[in-house]
Amino acid sequence: MGKSKLIKHIINRDWCKGCGICVEFCPQNVLELDEQDKVRTTRPESCIGCKLCELRCPDLAIEIHIKE
Amino acid sequence: MSGIIRFLQGNEVCVEAALYAGLDFFAGYPITPSTEIAENLSLRLPQIGGKFIQMEDEIASICAIIGASLTGHKVMTATSGPGFSLMQEALGYAVMAEIPSVIVNVQRGGPSTGLPTHVSQGDVNQARWGTHGDHAIIVLTASNHQDVFSITVDAFNLAETYRTPVVLLFDEIVGHMRERVIIPEKGKLPLVDRLRTSVKEGVDYHPYLPREDGRLPMSDFGGGHRYNVTGLAHDMWGFPSENPQVIHGLMRHLIDKIQNNAGEIARFREYDLEDAECVLISYGSSARSALHVVKNRRKRGERIGLLELQTLWPFPHRLVREKCAGIHTIVVVEMNMGQVLQEVKLSVPNPERVFLANRMDGVFINPTDIRNILRLIQGKGV
Amino acid sequence: MAIKDYIRERFFPHMWCPGCGHGIVLNGMLRAIEVLGLNKNDIVMVSGIGCSSRISGYVDFHTLHTIHGRALAFATGVKMSRPELNLIVPMGDGDALAIGGNHFIHAARRNIDLTAIVMNNRIYGMTGGQYSPLSGYGVSATTAPYSNIDQSFDIVELARAAGATFVARTTTYHVQELSNLIQQAIVHKGFSVVEVMSQCPTYFGRKNKEGGPADMLKRMKDMTTPIGSKAKQSHTELIERGIFVQKILPEYCSEYAGIIERAMKGH
C-alpha cells in the first residue's frame, strides 16, 4: 500500500456536539475532543482515510477529503 | 336544466357530482350508511384513469387523500359516525397544512355505534369542533338530490379555492333515498382548480405565504419546488416555528380565510319568507318535512316560510338574522338535541322566540311531528 | 453531488441529542441516495411524529411531516397518485409499530413500493423515555419504573409475516452496511423495510445504565451478527443482521395500473 494519499479533515465545529463516537472508533487514534468538547485532529499523519468517523458522525460534522 | 335524467340514491349522486367536479383520488373504508360511495367509486374512478383504494381504517383513508392532494389531485373520502370520529386528528392536519380535500359524512345515529342504519343529524357540532385547537372549517349539506349534486361540486370548488378540507354533512335519508336528479352537461356548473404558483423553479418559493386575498398558490409534490409540509405551527416556508408573531399570523390566516368569506360561502334556499310571521329553519333531510309543512299551511293561509341552510359552517349568522328580522316565531327543525338551534339563538335578537322541533330516536322527523310541535308553540294543543 | 447537497443546511446543527443514532441513520441514508444519484425532485420523504420523524425537516426533498403513526398512510396516497416518485418513510419504533402498527402491516400486505426505515431505539424519546413496543422485557423506562413486562415485537418477523418483499436489519454501528441496505431497499420494487437498531443515550442508555453513545454502539456490535454466521449457532441470543427477505411479487401501483387498463376497456 503506497503512502501517496493526501488526507484532509474538515470538521464543522458548529455542528459537532462532542458525542465522542468518532474518537472512540477511530482505528488510528487520530481524533480527540478538545476542552470545549468538540472533535479535533491531533494525529493527522496517522489517518488511513477509512472515513469511519465521517460515516458514523451523527451530526454530519466531519468530512474526510482524500486525494490519491 | 338540461342534462341526463337519472334515478339515484343520494350516495350515488354524490359520486356523480364528485366525478363531475374532477375527483380523481378516493380512499375509504366501508361503513354504513356511506359505503355506496366507496363501492361506486371503485368502479368508476379507474374508468377515467383515477385511483381508488380501500384503506385499513378511516384514519388511513383521510391520510391517504391528504397525500394524494399534495401531488395535485382532487380528493375525497366518505364515512359515517364512528369513522368520522376516527378522522378528526387528520382533519385538523388538513386544516393546519391547508390541504384541499372533501370529507363526506353520511350521518347516522350516535353516540358510539349508535344506530348504523338510521338517520340522525347529530354530527353538526362535531364537524365544526371535532378536531382539537382553534380553527375554521367549511361544512355543507343538502336536502334533495339536485342540491346534493350542486353542493358536492361546490364542496370541491371551495376546498380548492380556500385550500381547506370541506365536510359534506349528509344524512342517512339523503344518502339512501332514491329520487330523480338531472346530471348537468359538462361545463354547466363552474369548476375551480387550486391556484398553482407561478414562481419558477430555483426561485425562492414560499408555500405558506398567503396572497393579500388569503389564497395560497400551491406547488405539487414531485414538481420543481421542494418544501416542507407539517402539522406543527409553521412559518411561510412550511418549517416549524414557535415564534409568537409567526403563530399569530398563521392562526389569523387559517381562521380569517374562512370567516372573512362567510358571506361568500353561505349557501341556502328560502321558501315563502317574504310575508312570513313564522319561520322554520332546517337543513338536510329534515328540511324536506319542513318544506312539506310550509306548503301545506300556506294553502290554508298561514304566513309561514322556510329557510333551508346548506352551509352549516361557518354558520351564516348574518343571513339568519336578516331573514328572521321581525319574525315572531322561529322553529329550528333538526334531528338532534338542538345543535343548529343554539347558533340560531345566537343570531337573532329574540332568542326566547326560537323553538326546537326535533327527533333524535333514529326515526325521520315527518310533517306531522313538526305540525304537532307547531301547535304546541302556538298554544293550540296537540 | 456531496451529501451536503441533499440537506437543508440552515437547520443544522440538528435538534437531536449528542450521540443520537438518528443522526447516523440520516448520514447513512444520504450516502445511499448519493450513490443512487437520485434527483431530489423525485424523492418524497414522509414521516410521522417523534424524534425520528424530525429527519424529514433536514433533507432537501419534498417533505411531509405528518401525524403520529400515520406516515405510511399518507405515503400510500402520495405514491398511488404519483407512482414514479421515490417514497422514503422513516419512522421511530413507537411511531411505526405501536400507534402505526396497523398501517405498517397493511402497507406490507399491499406490497406498495415504499421504503420504510424503522429507526429502532426502543424508547419514546420526544416525550422523555417511556417504554415502546420494542423496549423489551425487563428494561427500565419512565413508565416502567418497576421494569417492563411487555414483550417486544421482532420487526423482521412481523414485516415478513405481513408480506413485505424486502426486509433487512442493521445497526448504527454498521454504517457501511446501513447505507448499503437502504440503497437496496430504495431500489427494491415493493414494500421494503429496513430496521436500524439505533441508540438513545439520553433516555434508553441512561435509564438502563448502558453508558454513553460509544458504549451503546459497542453493545450493538457485540449483540448482533451477520445472518447465518457461525457465532449465531453457539450464541443463539445474538441478533442477526442483513437481508432476510428479498423477493419480487406484484407491486400495488403496478397492479392498479392493470385495473385502470381493464376498467378503461370495459373489463
User: Could you tell me which chains touch chain B, where touching means 3 or more CB pairs under 8 A?
Assistant: C
pLDDT of B256 above 80: yes
Return the C-alpha cell found at B37: 360511495
- Same domain flag for B282 and B179: no
Mean pLDDT of B12-34: 98
Contact B229 C81 (CB under 8 A): no
Range of the domain at B355: 270-377
pLDDT band at B350, cuts 50/70/90?
very high
Domain presence at residue B208: no
Asked if C260 lies within 8 A of B65 by C-beta distance, the reply is: no
As a whole number of angstroms, the distance between CA B306 and CA B280 comes to 5
Question: Which positions in chain A touch C27 (Cβ < 8 Å)?
Answer: 55-58, 60
- The verdict on a CB contact (< 8 Å) between A56 and C17 is no
CA atoms within 13 A on the CB side of A58: 27
Among C41, C81, C86, pick the best mutation site for testing chain B contact (most B Cβ within 10 A).
Answer: C81
List phi, psi (to 5°) of A22. Answer: -65, -40
Assign residue B336 the CATH number of its domain.
3.40.50.920
The residue-averaged pLDDT of B30-52 equals 98
* Residue B236 domain-assigned (yes or no): no
Instruction: Note the pLDDT of residue A1.
Output: 46
> Which one of B49, B90, B229 has the shortest CB-CB distance to C70?
B90
Query: Mean pLDDT throughout B302-315?
Result: 98
pLDDT for B380 equals 84
Instruction: Please give the share of chain B, as a percent, with pLDDT higher than 90.
Output: 97
In chain C, what residues touch A51 (CB-CB under 8 Å)? none
pTM > 0.95: yes
Chain segment C91-125, per-residue pLDDT in tens: 999 999 999 999 999 999 999 999 999 999 999 99
Long-range own/partner contacts, residues B340-343 (CB < 8 A, 24 or more apart): B340/B124, B340/B281, B340/B283, B340/B309, B340/B312, B340/B315, B343/B315, B343/B317
pLDDT of B173 above 60: yes
pLDDT in tens, C56-95: 999 999 999 999 999 999 999 999 999 999 999 999 999 9
Q: Where are the domains of chain C?
A: 17-264
Q: Is residue B213 part of a domain?
A: no
Q: How confident is the model at residue A3 (pLDDT cuts 50, 70, 90)?
A: low
For residues B136-147, give the mean pLDDT: 98
Q: Looking at the predicted structure, is the pLDDT value of residue B304 above 60?
A: yes
The total of structural domains in chain B comes to 2
Whether the CA torsion C73, C49, C28, C163 is positive or negative: it is negative
- The reported pLDDT for the residue numbered A60 is 98
Quick one: average pLDDT of B122-130? 98
Beta strand residue intervals within chain C, DSSP E: 43-47, 62-65, 86-92, 115-120, 123-124, 130-131, 166-171, 192-197, 224-226, 239-246
Average pLDDT of chain A is: 93
Please state the rounded mean pLDDT for residues B68-79: 98
DSSP β-ladder status, B178-184 and B3-9 = antiparallel
User: Does B212 score more than 50 pLDDT?
Assistant: yes
Task: Tell me which chain C residues have a C-beta less than 8 angstroms from the C-beta of A14.
Answer: 12-13
How far is C97 from C155, CA to CA, in rounded Å?
Answer: 8
Q: What is the mean pLDDT of residues B324-329?
A: 96
Question: Is position B113 within any domain?
Answer: yes
Whether B203 is in a domain gets the answer no
| Residues of C with Cβ-Cβ distance to A59 under 8 angstroms | 12-14, 23
Residue type, position A47, single letter? C
B207 vs C64: CA distance, rounded Å: 13
Question: Nine-digit cell at C113?
Answer: 413500493
* Domains within chain A, CATH numbers bracketed: 6-67 (3.30.70.20)
Predicted local confidence at residue B246, as pLDDT: 98
Does the pLDDT at position C1 exceed 90? no
Question: Which sign does the torsion angle of CA B296, B356, B285, B25 carry?
Answer: positive
Whether pLDDT at A16 is above 50:
yes
Q: Distance between CA atoms of C40 and C267, rounded to whole angstroms?
A: 38
| Cross-chain Cβ contact C13/A15 below 8 Å | yes
Question: Is residue C219 scored above 50 in pLDDT?
Answer: yes
Greatest CA separation found in chain A?
Answer: 37
Q: In angstroms, rounded to a whole number, what is the distance separating the alpha carbons of residues B233 and B284?
A: 35
Spatial CA neighbour of B86 closest among B63, B65, B52: B63
Interface contact C217-A25, CB threshold 8 A: yes
* In CATH, C17-264 is 3.90.1150.10: no
Q: How sure is the predictor about B382, in pLDDT bands with cuts at 50, 70 and 90?
A: low
Q: Is C66 on the interface with B (CB under 8 A)?
A: yes
Of the pLDDT bands very low, low, confident and very high (cuts 50, 70, 90), residue C266 is confident
Q: Please state, in angstroms and rounded to a whole number, the distance separating the CA atoms of residues C136 and C195.
A: 16
Give the pLDDT confidence score for residue B19 in this predicted structure. Answer: 98
Q: How many CB atoms lie within 10 A of CB A2?
A: 5
Measured at the alpha carbon of residue B216, what is the angle toward residues B132 and B316, in degrees to the nearest 5? 55
Distance from CA of B76 to the nearest CA of C (A): 12
Does residue B177 lie in a domain region? Answer: yes
| Cell numbers that stand for C55 in this block | 429527519
Q: What is the pLDDT at residue A67? A: 87
Residue B245 has pLDDT above 70, yes or no: yes
| Inter-CA distances, B79 with B54, B324, B334, C82, Å | 12, 34, 21, 25
Rounded-to-integer distance, Cα C235 and Cα C252, Å: 39
Inter-chain contact C57–B239, Cβ cutoff 8 Å? yes
Instruction: Look up residue B194 and give its three cell numbers.
Output: 387550486
**Each residue of C166-202: pLDDT tens digit?**
999 999 999 999 999 999 999 999 999 999 999 999 9
Where does C66-140 show beta strands of DSSP type E?
86-92, 115-120, 123-124, 130-131
Which of these three, B184, B202, B219, is where a domain ends? B184
Is residue B340 domain-resident? Answer: yes
SS3 of residue A19 by DSSP: coil
Angstrom distance (rounded) from CA B289 to CA B346 = 24
The dihedral sign for the CA sequence B177, B183, B187, B188: negative
Query: Which of B138, B154, B184 finishes a domain?
Result: B184
Of B160, B184, B208, which residue sits at a domain end?
A: B184
CATH of the domain at B7: 3.40.50.970
B268-271: strand order across its sheet: B268-271, B304-309, B278-282, B329-334, B354-358
Q: How far is CA B246 from CA B227, B236, B252, B359, C267, in A?
A: 18, 9, 10, 46, 53
The whole-angstrom distance between A65's CA and the closest CA on chain C is 11
Kindly state the percentage of chain B with pLDDT values over 70.
Answer: 100
The answer to whether C162 and C104 have CB atoms below 8 angstroms apart is yes
The pLDDT score that the predictor gives to residue C267 is 61
Confidence check on the interface: ipTM exceeds 0.90, yes or no: yes
Judge if B179 and B53 occupy the same domain: yes
- pLDDT surpassing 70 at residue A50: yes
Q: Which amino acid is at B263?
A: G
Q: Per the structure block, which three cell numbers stand in for C82?
A: 404519483
For residue B341, what is its C-alpha cell? 338551534
